[in-house]
Structure 1
């Protein structure tokens, strides 16, 4: 078991390039991680890392060893995770990332039922609209849309990711009528700034017949969050372009109305992401299957479609 712990310290340190960061993720001290790796090097009779005050890099022997043990170590670790359960049930801390408003509105309400089924799982949920490093930051899963799919990560589609144009009844009554996309050029836009790039993206509108038109809405103001965008639009400040899931409560309450309801922006899919393993930890498999089941049972995919 001591050798297994040393290999874990080595693999995590190689992944993040730092004893200190590996120690944080393993809930150890940097000195303990460094000592454990040193013991492994002594046992193997080779130096695995080149150490300096500013960097930690693999030696040629370290690169070879990582290739040999990396996948096998993850398989063993997942097998241990599957067996380390309470009464045969999935157990352990479940670290998940999801969008702030999306998670609060549609995932947190599922938490009670999830814990009734899996009482030995301890949720550690992080709410952030930016893409996380699923493997590097130690997440078991993430829910979101528009993310690049890194090597070693798989995605299961939950629903389409549509964005819609919305405005308050007061705004629409007091401004020029909007009957086609070209009319948007004369209106004030409340647009979304990407949390990843800080820029406002250029969008293309699509209608139910799959025809396309450029979005000519000029930015009166920008937001980095769809819920804030909706709140501003509800005050009559302009036309917002927001993700459909976040718009739903405002549309259902009458606080906002869809503008050009036959048109929307197709932004790909909302998916659940997790590390690709032949033997997925029981807690992760339980969560992935539960979320997919609940989206189907509650008809969320249909509610989130703008078509």
Structure 2
């Protein structure tokens, strides 16, 4: 039995919570994972895991073994990553999770350049707006906007997103152009966004000096995915708020028009986040640095405002 492989399998079972999920994430048959754990327990002469029909939990001995094993594996990976070849040519399978809009508009179009730079990295890209459990889902890193909640994770801030208020020309022809946020609540429809993880509806926000106005509707459609949200606004279903990076090409083409530019919205920070036990991985470091470069090269992803007047209606240049 390879002791390093057995340790990796054991830590993955603990993190995944089931033999099936651990086997899937490792690309191994479930029977192999089960036999490895049984052999490990036999060699150590202790019971490491409690097994039920639905979930696996660690025993007291298993928890202690997990903590020490995790440190050892981290040191082992650090030794390998510190070698010159590993740094210059990181390799292996990398699981990344990212929101739909960032994936579609930024990451995927630039992946050929990433693979040209790192040909030996195999990328599994999860694309959704849901919040993943990085440990149980075996995700190496995620790119997400918003304030961080889980303080145990390592985060690097790579961008800031400006949100602007927009609508399609067709919608404005049918419903008119609002001159104040409160007119939206009284006289218009909005496109609303609700969280994929909690079902909460997020109102449109308008900030001007110390004044803050939140508009919770009315709406005829609400979605929980950013690409669908954009399509709903483009389709004339209501007024919405999207990032300036998303909006720029549609404003230039005339498919969207900007509303109420004198009312702002707080910048949304964007982070690339990864578990602390993976911070020394060469492949994770390579992806994090590459993603940071992508964001840094685009001013609209660093909080810079759109050019004055681009696609603006309501008394300003359109």
Asked if these proteins are the same fold (TM beyond 0.5), I'd say yes
- Alignment of 1:214 with 2:214, yes or no, is yes
Deviation of 1:246 after TM superposition, in Å, equals: 2.7
Aligned to 2:48: 48
Q: Deviations over 1:24-49 (max 9, x none)?
A: 11222222222212222222221112
- Alignment of 1:172 with 2:166, yes or no, is no
Q: Provide closer, same or farther for how the CA distance between residues 297 and 81 of structure 1 changes in structure 2, counting only shifts above 3 A.
A: same
How many residues get paired?
306
Q: Provide closer, same or farther for how the CA distance between residues 227 and 128 of structure 1 changes in structure 2, counting only shifts above 3 A.
A: closer
Deviation of 1:250 after TM superposition, in Å, equals: 1.7
- Alignment of 1:135 with 2:135, yes or no, is yes
Aligned to 2:271: 271
- Alignment of 1:62 with 2:50, yes or no, is no
How far apart in 2 are the matches of 1:278 and 1:146? 22
How far apart in 1 are the matches of 2:60 and 2:235? 61
Aligned to 2:199: 198
In structure 2, runs of 5+ residues without a counterpart are 308-318
Aligned to 2:3: 3
How far apart in 2 are the matches of 1:138 and 1:6? 17
Q: Provide closer, same or farther for how the CA distance between residues 165 and 114 of structure 1 changes in structure 2, counting only shifts above 3 A.
A: same
Q: Deviations over 1:82-109 (max 9, x none)?
A: 6596794111222211122321111112
Deviation of 1:151 after TM superposition, in Å, equals: 5.0
Q: Provide closer, same or farther for how the CA distance between residues 53 and 134 of structure 1 changes in structure 2, counting only shifts above 3 A.
A: closer
Aligned to 1:144: 144
How far apart in 2 are the matches of 1:232 and 1:53? 44
* Conserved 8 A contact 1:101-1:227: yes
Q: Provide closer, same or farther for how the CA distance between residues 250 and 271 of structure 1 changes in structure 2, counting only shifts above 3 A.
A: same
How far apart in 2 are the matches of 1:234 and 1:88? 44
TM-score under structure 2 length normalisation: 0.85
* Conserved 8 A contact 1:75-1:277: no
TM-score under structure 1 length normalisation: 0.87
CA RMSD between the two structures: 2.7
In structure 1, runs of 5+ residues without a counterpart are none
* Conserved 8 A contact 1:75-1:279: no
Aligned to 1:187: 188
